[in-house]
Structure 1
Amino acid sequence: MSPTATATAAKSDIVIDLREVETRFGAHVVHHNLNLQVRRAEVFAIIGGSGSGKSTLLREMILLHRPDAGRIKVLGVELKDLSPEDALALRLRWGVLFQHGGLFGSLTVLENIGLPLREHTRLSNKLIDDLAAWKLDMVGLKPEVGAQYPAQLSGGMMKRASLARALALDPELLFLDEPTAGLDPESAAGVDELVLRLRDLFGLTIVMISHDLDLLWQVADRVAVLGEGRVQGVGSMAELADMNQPAIRPFFEGARGRAAQPASIPPTQAKEPSSKPK
């Protein structure tokens, strides 16, 4: 392959491209000269301490907040100054699972899943119900769950139903905001498996915000660590575990960080100052 063809292929492999993003809330700087790229068909996670700007960055990528400076391209489209028509067309190409689900309490699960299809297609009600039932099955929920209301669902079922709605329009790109937050270990493990299955079956690019270290080790191809307004490091969890940076070390040190690491990888040991006299 020629150098030009290689460069073109590499460029087309980038699904999200952030360049020199600046975000401020008054005098508070959230992002400063932030750069990040997400590749096609990868599970990409964003982590960081409280106040590091993870959720703000997600909101910027899904057109819910505009940065003060810099450039964001999603699916090859520059987000700045999009017309309402172009913004809608772009939103229809991605799905979002919000942290608390975001299902409408007055609608059944099946009605919630079918809502994007009713709003944005001209399909018959029968076909929409059939497609919604298929999405329900895709995320591992039984048909009878479709007749229930969100308030009747467990936390794990709520996450799966919300994910089914995010998949209603067959998106190319999927955003997950804390997909395992509030779930028991068994339900969280089920989400792990589901994320990988969706990526492998449909070639989805998946971007997620998560504090769940088990989830990160199990499903993330690459992880970006935010700190001090910038990306402090990007790589697999194993690669990050070898990086000796203050913003990265807390995710691998301590009992919680070490317990999440697979048995095949030596647990990272926190370096304690020596108490012996020199």
Structure 2
Amino acid sequence: MRSISTRFGDHVVHDNLDLDVKAGEIFAIVGGSGSGKSSLLREMIMLNQANAGSINILGKDLKDITPADALDLRQRCGVMFQHGGLFGTLNIRDNIALPLQENTDLKPELIAQIGAWKLQMVGLKVETGEQFPSELSGGMLKRASMARAIALDPELLFLDEPTAGLDPTSASGIDHLIRTLHDLFNTTIVIITHDLDLLWQVTDRVAVLGEGRVLALGSMQELADMPDPAVRAYFDGTRARAAQTQAQTQLTTSQIDTKRNTTQMNKEASGHES
């Protein structure tokens, strides 16, 4: 994104904003209410157009994109909307099948198999596909929405507040799901969120929006160490420190487990050699 300017009447949302997302990373966009996070996302997924500036996604410039190129780009991207965005008159199975029916020539039997696989991939039972969105809990609805977002195996995945409104256990499950999907497919993931636990657990880099621009950019640790009051206001406080401590504890535990596993493998290898 280069020199992005967005206005609604006299209200300036983005003022000459620049932003880069690297291929294969988990990138988050954060900021206070009214900082323009959702507007930026809508511009990225071609629902809105900025007043000025350029956006290039997967080698395609969105400003003068042709309908054919726009369709191709949409097929290479997946979107998980904040409130699910599933069609209420379709059951979950048919919601997941819809992108495959519209964009591929696959036979119905294969589409059904892919849909079942996607449900299992996001931690839902195949039988859940028979239920309707209104029948699901908040956590299940998020997972079902994720299953539809990855139906076409996207190169680029956009997640809008993936843990909003969830209890801590369900939110932790979404954290794990995001990391698992990324590790499996090396998908580039862009997240709009205010969930500090999610930010510490899964992101590679985070952009902080404010004053119409990117105030700061870096890893969570780098942002937490910045002296800028506008940045520290977001990452300081009891909740932020608790999320940071938890992430660091889990990282240490993971490192210990990895070291133990490596030591055990070396011992077993030495035994075989003997």
Q: Residue 245 of structure 1 is aligned with which of 208, 228, 242?
A: 228
Tell me the residue number matched to 1:94.
Answer: 77
Scaled by the length of structure 1, the TM-score of the pair is 0.87
Q: Residue 113 of structure 2 is aligned with which of 123, 127, 130?
A: 130
- Determine the C-alpha separation between the residues in 2 that align with 1:102 and 1:261: 31
Scaled by the length of structure 2, the TM-score of the pair is 0.89
- Determine the C-alpha separation between the residues in 1 that align with 2:57 and 2:245: 33
Pair 1:77-2:60 in alignment: yes
- Report how many aligned residue pairs link the two structures: 249
CA drift of 1:84 comes to 1.5
Whether the 8 Å contact between 2:201 and 2:247 is mirrored in structure 1 is no
Pair 1:24-2:1 in alignment: no
Q: Residue 215 of structure 1 is aligned with which of 198, 201, 205?
A: 198
1:185 maps to a residue whose letter is P
After TM superposition, the runs of 4+ consecutive aligned structure 1 residues lying more than 2 A away are: 262-266
Percent identity, aligned pairs only?
65
Whether the 8 Å contact between 1:217 and 1:260 is mirrored in structure 2 is yes
1:251 maps to a residue whose letter is Y
Q: Residue 42 of structure 2 is aligned with which of 59, 62, 69?
A: 59
In structure 1, stretches of 5+ residues that fail to align are 1-17, 267-278
CA drift of 1:252 comes to 2.0
Tell me the residue number matched to 1:33.
Answer: 16
**Structure having the larger proportion of residues in helix:** 2
CA drift of 1:101 comes to 0.2
Aligned-residue CA RMSD (Å): 1.2
Pair 1:198-2:181 in alignment: yes
Whether the 8 Å contact between 2:119 and 2:126 is mirrored in structure 1 is yes
CA drift of 1:118 comes to 0.6
Pair 1:139-2:122 in alignment: yes
CA drift of 1:265 comes to 5.9
- Determine the C-alpha separation between the residues in 2 that align with 1:258 and 1:197: 25
- Determine the C-alpha separation between the residues in 2 that align with 1:55 and 1:246: 23
1:107 maps to a residue whose letter is L
2:206 maps to a residue whose letter is V
- Determine the C-alpha separation between the residues in 2 that align with 1:56 and 1:247: 21
Q: Residue 188 of structure 1 is aligned with which of 162, 171, 182?
A: 171
2:75 maps to a residue whose letter is L
Tell me the residue number matched to 1:13.
Answer: none
CA drift of 1:248 comes to 0.9
Q: Deviations over 1:152-204 (max 9, x none)?
A: 11100000000000001110000000000010000000000000011110010
Pair 1:258-2:241 in alignment: yes
CA drift of 1:263 comes to 5.1
Q: Secondary structure at the match of 1:57?
A: helix
1:262 maps to a residue whose letter is T
In structure 2, stretches of 5+ residues that fail to align are 250-274
Q: Deviations over 1:55-93 (max 9, x none)?
A: 000000000111111111001110001111211111110
